[in-house]
Structure formats: structure tokens, C-alpha cells
Structure 1
Amino acid sequence: MLTLSEFLTQIPKAELHYHLLGGVRMSTMLDLAKKYGVPLTEKEAKSYYRAYAHENEVMKGGIAALHFLYPLLREAVDYQRVAHEVLEDAKNTGIRYVEFFWNPNDTNLSYQAVTDALAKTFEQAEQEWNISAFLIPSINREKTPEEAVKMVQWMIDYPHERVLGIGIDYREDHAPIENFWKAYRLAEQHGLRLTGHCSEFGLHWRNVETGLDLLNLERIDHGYTVIENPELTARCARLGIPFTVVPSNTFFMKKWPNHQDWQKNHPIRQMAKAGMKIIPATDDWHMHDTNGVKCYEVMIEDFGFDLDGVRQCILNGIDAAWQPESLKQEWRYHWMKEFDDLRAQLVEEPKIAPELYTQYGPKTF
């Protein structure tokens, strides 16, 4: 018989929103700093990781960690170490498929060198652990639109089977997605898949609308303020636009420090109630102190999902993965059979508190 935690660990899952360097272990950060003679105390390293955050100390968080880590990774083997450890952590929580964001414009190495290094590690992990990993080069929107076009041109000049499409991340406040239309148009013209971080830090819902209508995004990362526009929300639900949502997103934890307020008001709950196609994701694994199990525990314990809802989220992840339909059909059959077999071994199904339960099941997605 299985506990709920054991069940959530073993069920197969797809992870579609994971920043590669957001999964760097703190011990690895310290090792790399030592390797290159970069001053970094353990206390300073801890400031990037929420697991070590204290009320009287500032937590720098994921974006600050990316700013620190990209200059720190100076050789291909550094990327390979990180990728190997990240995939090891992922497979230990039942993740079978990952699409990683990384930022080519931020690295000290060439696009080709990093792509080749990561691809080699992915191939080894697939043979060793039966976990598949792919890349989504992502625009750093804190840089210029011209830099974004340059990144896409690198992708065009060096196509690779492990590279699926493009994304965009970093702080959105002064860099709405329409600024980068040329990069997206160029990527689309060359058959690359399209996703983008939109409306993340409480920013306006029009960023989602612009991403869909101007840039032809297939998937939205975050997108939480979409619920402030009922018409747009209904449209996204009707069309089945996939949204990768992050239960550990720090913005809402700061907005609603009272846990009950956070549970009640979190937009992920509202998005599910509206029938949107959502896929739980970890974002910055170690920086956010989450993983592939904790992510789904929050969906159940805080957002009121039952196991039918969890099952549907996993199906949503398969649907939204950028892989051939024939492969996804295999996953639907085998993963869901595995899910159902493991579910039958549960000691008991989770009891959802009445104030949380909203009957998230297959028909509501």
C-alpha cells in the first residue's frame, strides 16, 4: 500500500516549465564559485534559496540566481554537471519528460557549445534513467529585442533535435512581449514552437492577449491575471490553451502572506474553476524549495484538487508537450495505466477540506 506522498512520487509526469539554472543545488553553486575563485559565502549562497529564507533576511530568489549563475558557468562540463544533477532530482520525483528553459544570451560560451554539451547529458540520462529532456532557448527580456533576434538566428544556424522552440522570461515589468515580435516571427517562420512568460508578476492580462494574438503563442507560462478578463478566460478555456502554472510562485506568497488568504485567492484555483487547461510546474526547483512531488501536494492540500483533477493535469501536460502525437498517445495509455494501478494501491485517497473542494475532475478541464 502507498501513502499519498509515495503515490505522487511514483506517478509519471511531464515538466514543461523548468529553468535549468533554477535547479542548481546549493552545494554545486558553492563548488563552482570555489572552482573559479568567485567570492561566495554559504550565507550568501543561501540567500538565493527559499528553503533557507528567514523573515529578517532578504531572499534574492530565482532571477537574481540566474544573474549570478550564468557568468559562473564557464565550461561545458559545468552545464553538464548541472543538467545531470537536475535530471537526477527530477527522475527521483517521477518526472519522465522535461522541457528546459535556458538563456543563450547570458552564457559565456557559444550557443552551439552549450547545446551540444546539454544534449550529450540528456542522451546519457535517457539511457540511464528513462527520462527525456529537451531545450527551449529563452529570450532574456531584460536585454534588447535585437539580442532576441540574434538568439533565434543562432538556433536557425545550428538546428538540433533536442531544441524545440523559444520562450521568454526574466522581469516583465518594462518589457512587454510585443517588444520581441521580430524574434518570434523569425522563429515561427522557421518552424520553431512558441511559448512565453506573460502576466506573471501581477501584470496586466493584455500581455496574455498580445502573446496569443500578435505572436501566436501556443502555450502561456504563468498568465495568472487572465482571470481578470472573463471574456479572455472563457476564450482560453474554450480553445484549450495550455497554461503552465507554478504553485510556488513567490509573487502571490508576498501578496497574501496569510496562508488561508493565499489558498482562497490564488489564481490557479480560479483558472481551474474556469475550466482552463493548466499544467502544474516547478519553475525554479531549488530556488523555490519545491519539486515534482511538492508541486502536486500543493494542488491537493491547498488548492483542493482531488486525484481525478491530478490525473487530468498530467494528461494536460502530455497534450501540451512539444512531441509527436504518436508518442504522446503512447504516454496517454501507459502513463494513465500506471497512474490508475498506483492509485489502487493508496492507503486512502486524500480528503479535501470542504472549504477547498471544488470538484476538479476531468469534466471541469
Structure 2
Amino acid sequence: MELEAYVRALPKAELHLHIEGTLEPEMMFALARRNGVALPWASVEAVRAAYAFTDLQSFLDLYYAGAAVLVREQDFFELAFAYFERAHADGVVHAELFFDPQTHTARGVALETVLDGLERACVEARARWGIGSRLILCFLRHLSEEEGFATLQQALPHLSRIDGVGLDSSERGHPPAKFARLFARCRELGLHVVAHAGEEGPPAYIVDALDLLKAERIDHGVRCTEDPALVGRLVREQVPLTVCPLSNVKLCVFPDLARHNLGQLFAAGLKVTINSDDPAYFGGYVAKNYVDTARALGLGRAELRRIARNSLEASFVSAAERAPWLARLDALGEDCEGEGGAA
């Protein structure tokens, strides 16, 4: 079996996916026309030419400008449904979608509008392809904790549709401690907790995400290797890391995939997963992240199966829901064994 086909055959969960980051330029322009939104680019080609990011902030500036075309419930449905169609082709059996309500409510779009569209896509994806899903509300860390509390207040009537909360946007200068009270309240409400940490921020942000926010997963986390004691803790506690290789290269966290530390993390015993982050902007959905990383780092198919298993085990689902996915993964077996890097 070819490497690409093998990767797509692996049942996997995507745990680090910003649904607004799946907005392809073609859809961006179509929605802009439909909703009468003026974009700062003249064409699809001009948008793609702007994807020469130098760091996280340079990406975020473009990301927020593009998100302005999302206005109606139908927009959010079409955005998420298009993602699920690609995810199904990539072998994703479960996806936990991040969404940024503050990006939309600041423009006068109601949180209910966002949720209605995303939830309808989740229901349709399960009916059509059997893909499981969860919705994770992310707070924008460049805003204040008080603004986060206001967003949480808006979300209270909809908590039955939200499975967890996360922390994203500009990491530098916005430590997890800034949101300790907000996340304590979210935990009291029974919500799962994840947090971006250790992408551009220091290893101390990972420690604080664990200790202050009580994060169950760390999104990115690649800078943990700068603190050997932290690496030891992450191994002992088997804290999942939702690593996004192509994103890390595109945002200059690593100069190229061959020098990404995912292989080092895996070899050290950390519970690493592979995800696509904002694939419309970073050059690849989840299967491409698996394939390109395997080739760059020489990962074999046994390692890829382990990473896929990590993603299923780290998902916020019941053991009963997870069991058939793991059975499918085990069924691939050694008959398909071979070296990913040589395929």
C-alpha cells in the first residue's frame, strides 16, 4: 500500500483544527460576494500570495480579515461541511473543532448563529460519513479575561452543544495565568479544557496551562524540549500534545519539516498527535501533515499507527464510541507494515 493510501486508511481523530482556518480563498471570495463584504485583496491569487507568514501574528492579521466574510448560519454550515468532506477523504473518524466566537460577536454575529451552522454541519457529517465531532469554544488570549467571561456568559444557554474550551490567538505576552479564573469557572461548568502553549511561548506557559488552567491536552507544546523536567512530566502523565507540523514550518517555529522535533517527542515517549491547525492557510489538511512528516522524519507505519492511536485515545469521547475506531486501526495490522520514509 502506498504511503498516502495507508495514511488515509488510518482511522484518526483531528484534535487541533480551527474551523475558521479551513476557509479556502475560493470560499472566502464567494462568501464575500454573497454577504457584501469588502476584502483587502483583489483576487484568490492575491490572497494566496499573502501567505508568506513570518510569525504567528502575521498569520493572525490575515486570518481575522478573512473571517469577516462569515456572517450567516449558512456560511458557518458551508465552512464546516467543506472541512468534514475533506476530513472524511483523509480518514478522519472524529474531529474536535475549535471555533472563535469573539472573532464573530465583535462584528455583530450572534454566538447562536455560529453554533447553529457548525452544529448542523456536525450532524450532517455524522449522517453522511459517520464522523464523530465535538465543538470547543476558544477564548482569544489577546483580549482580556473580562471579555472572556462575557463570552462565557453568552455561551451559557448553549452549553449542551459545547464540549470544551480552549485558549488561542497571540501567545507571546499572554500567559495562561491571565485566564486562571475564567478556566476555573469553565471547569466548574463541566467543560473539558485545552490550551495552546509552547508554540511561540516558553515552556513555562505549558507548565502554567497544566497547573493553573488544568488543561487536559496541550495544543502545540513543541517547545517543551527546552525543559527536560517538563518533558519527563509530560511523559509520566501522558499529556497529549496536538502537534501541527506544517503549521509550525509555515509560521517559522521550525525552518523545515526535516528539523521538526516531532520525531524526538515521539521517541521520548510523549503522547504526540498530528493535526492541521489552519489548513487553508498552512498548505495541507491532516493526511498531508502525516505524509509529509513521515517522509521528512523517516517515520515508519508502526509510528504512524501509534500517532493515530494517540489521537483516538486523546479525544473527548466515551470508551464505547472509541472502541470501533481502535478495532479498525488494529485491523490494519502488520500486513501493511513498511517504512513510511521509504514509501
Alpha-carbon offset, residue 294 of structure 1: 1.1
1:317 paired with 2:311, answer: yes
Partner of 2:63: 66
Match of 2:297, SS?
A: coil
Partner of 1:129: 129
Partner of 2:328: 334
| CA displacement, residues 244-302 of structure 1 (integer Å, 9 cap, x when unaligned) | 00111245763654x4xx524x2222211221100111101111111122111133111
Q: Which residue of 225, 228, 244 corresponds with 2:226? A: 228
For structure 1, the residue ranges without an aligned partner over 5 or more in a row are 354-365
Alpha-carbon offset, residue 158 of structure 1: 2.0
Partner of 2:172: 173
Structure 2 Cα separation of the partners of residues 269 and 4 of structure 1: 18
Identity %: 24
Give structure 1 regions of 4+ aligned residues with deviation exceeding 6 angstroms: 57-61
Structure 2 Cα separation of the partners of residues 94 and 153 of structure 1: 36
Partner of 1:269: 263
Partner of 1:25: 24
Number of aligned residues? 336
Structure 2 Cα separation of the partners of residues 59 and 167 of structure 1: 17
1:1-365 equivalences under 5 Å are 2-37=1-36, 38-39=38-39, 40-42=41-43, 43-48=45-50, 50=51, 62-107=59-104, 108-160=108-160, 162-201=161-200, 203-250=201-248, 254=252, 257=255, 259=256, 263-264=258-259, 266-337=260-331, 339-340=332-333, 344=335, 346=336, 349-350=338-339, 352=341
Alpha-carbon offset, residue 33 of structure 1: 1.8
Indicate the structure with greater helix content.
Answer: 2
Distance 1:351 1:90, change over 3 A: closer
Instruction: Give the residue type in structure 1 aligned to 2:155.
Output: M
TM-score w.r.t. length of structure 2: 0.91
Match of 1:249, SS?
A: helix
Instruction: Give the residue type in structure 1 aligned to 2:93.
Output: R
Distance 1:255 1:23, change over 3 A: closer
Match of 2:282, SS?
A: coil
| CA displacement, residues 17-74 of structure 1 (integer Å, 9 cap, x when unaligned) | 00001111211011112223314311432235x5xx5x9x999964234311332211
Structure 1 Cα separation of the partners of residues 62 and 284 of structure 2: 16
Q: Is the 8 A contact 2:137 2:164 kept in 1?
A: yes
Q: Which stretch of structure 1 is more off in the superposition, 284-293 or 34-43?
A: 34-43
Distance 1:58 1:268, change over 3 A: closer
Q: Is the 8 A contact 1:47 1:58 kept in 2?
A: no
Q: Is the 8 A contact 2:100 2:139 kept in 1?
A: yes
Q: Is the 8 A contact 1:156 1:190 kept in 2?
A: no
Instruction: Give the residue type in structure 1 aligned to 2:139.
Output: I
Alpha-carbon offset, residue 111 of structure 1: 1.5
Structure 2 Cα separation of the partners of residues 335 and 250 of structure 1: 27
Alpha-carbon offset, residue 101 of structure 1: 0.6
Distance 1:294 1:61, change over 3 A: farther
Match of 2:180, SS?
A: helix
Structure 1 Cα separation of the partners of residues 199 and 131 of structure 2: 29
Structure 2 Cα separation of the partners of residues 234 and 157 of structure 1: 40
Structure 1 Cα separation of the partners of residues 175 and 9 of structure 2: 39
Q: Is the 8 A contact 1:138 1:168 kept in 2?
A: yes
Distance 1:237 1:118, change over 3 A: same
Match of 2:339, SS?
A: coil
Q: Is the 8 A contact 1:16 1:281 kept in 2?
A: yes
| CA displacement, residues 166-204 of structure 1 (integer Å, 9 cap, x when unaligned) | 001111112111101121011000100000000112x21
Q: Is the 8 A contact 1:222 1:244 kept in 2?
A: yes
Aligned alpha-carbon RMSD (Å): 2.3
